[in-house]
Amino acid sequence: RPVYNKKACFDAFPFPDLNSAAGEEIGVLAEEIDERRRQVLAQHEDLTMTGLYNVRRRLQEGAELIGSERDLYDRGQVGLLHHLHQRLDQQVATAYGWRDGMTNQATLGALLELNRARRVQEERGEIQFLRPSYQAGRIKSSARAVQIEALLDRTSTRAPLPDAPAVLAGVLLEELRREGRPLQPLELARRFDGRIGRRKTDRIEQTLAILAVAGSVQRTDEGWFSPRRH
């Protein structure tokens, strides 16, 4: 039976360059996912992390949700979690310099090639640390921390505008909170994949108006914003 070994599995894993815009986005999305899950599980004591991700797996398989699955989907905000995970996957792919939507086999192949490239770099004394300030001082070597460019062409990926109203509301609220400044519907529309038209911006503005009624966002002459949370 396979046994996990930190030195062989984690220490040698070829992590992407996190000192980039994609790296910052990865951190923001990971924190949002963690916070969202904590809130859901705190509000509904009968829900579990396993249950949430079992339903998400059903979504990934394209299966129709029925009965208790639909209830768990609604109360567990699985649609929003699914969307956030999709965006996280896209940002990780961008950080690696990979195209979005690669198969598992292609991803493993790319990781293997990157691992080999990193090994060549490390033999020359150039090491890309995940946490340079912590790791560099623990290794007795003349190695210097560097950033190694990923092997594949970098591509910019954007998630599509969610169809479900509740998911769209959560995503827009997340964008406003992360930005920390007022944004116009057109600015928000540009952050999602697809053609930017009147229908798209109208959907965004209508959703923001609903969020405003709930007190989650406010509007100024400069655009919509989410008040700072305390």
21-43 helix and 78-96 helix, angle to the nearest 10 degrees: 160
pLDDT given for residue 132 in this prediction = 63
pLDDT at 84 over 70: yes
Identity of the residue numbered 217: V
- Per-position b or e across 210-228, b if 16+ CB within 10 A of its CB: ebeeeebbeeeeebbbbee
Angle between helices 21-43 and 49-60 (to 10 degrees): 120
What span, in angstroms and rounded, lies between the C-alpha atoms of 31 and 14? Answer: 22
Query: Which percentage of the chain shows pLDDT scores above 90?
Result: 19
Quick check: 3 pLDDT over 50?
A: yes
Q: Cβ(156)–Cβ(193) under 8 Å?
A: no
Q: Is the dihedral of CA 79, 80, 81, 82 positive or negative?
A: positive
Residue 154 has pLDDT above 60, yes or no: no
79 CB contacts (<8 Å, ≥6 apart)?
59, 73, 162, 164, 166, 167
Phi, psi values for residue 186, rounded to 5°: -65, -40
In sequence order, the 6+-apart residues with CB closer than 8 A to the CB of 115 are: 12, 13, 14
What is the mean pLDDT of the segment spanning 14-21? 79
Most confident of 47-51, 120-124, 172-176, 192-196: 47-51
According to DSSP, the β-strands at 144-145 and 126-127 are parallel
Whether the Cβ atoms of residue 225 and residue 212 lie closer than 8 Å to each other = no
Question: Percent of the chain scored above 70 by pLDDT?
Answer: 86
Each residue's pLDDT tens digit, 189-209: 888 887 777 888 889 999 998
In this model, does residue 58 exceed pLDDT 70?
Answer: yes
Residue scoring higher pLDDT (194 or 211): 211
Total-model pTM: 0.58
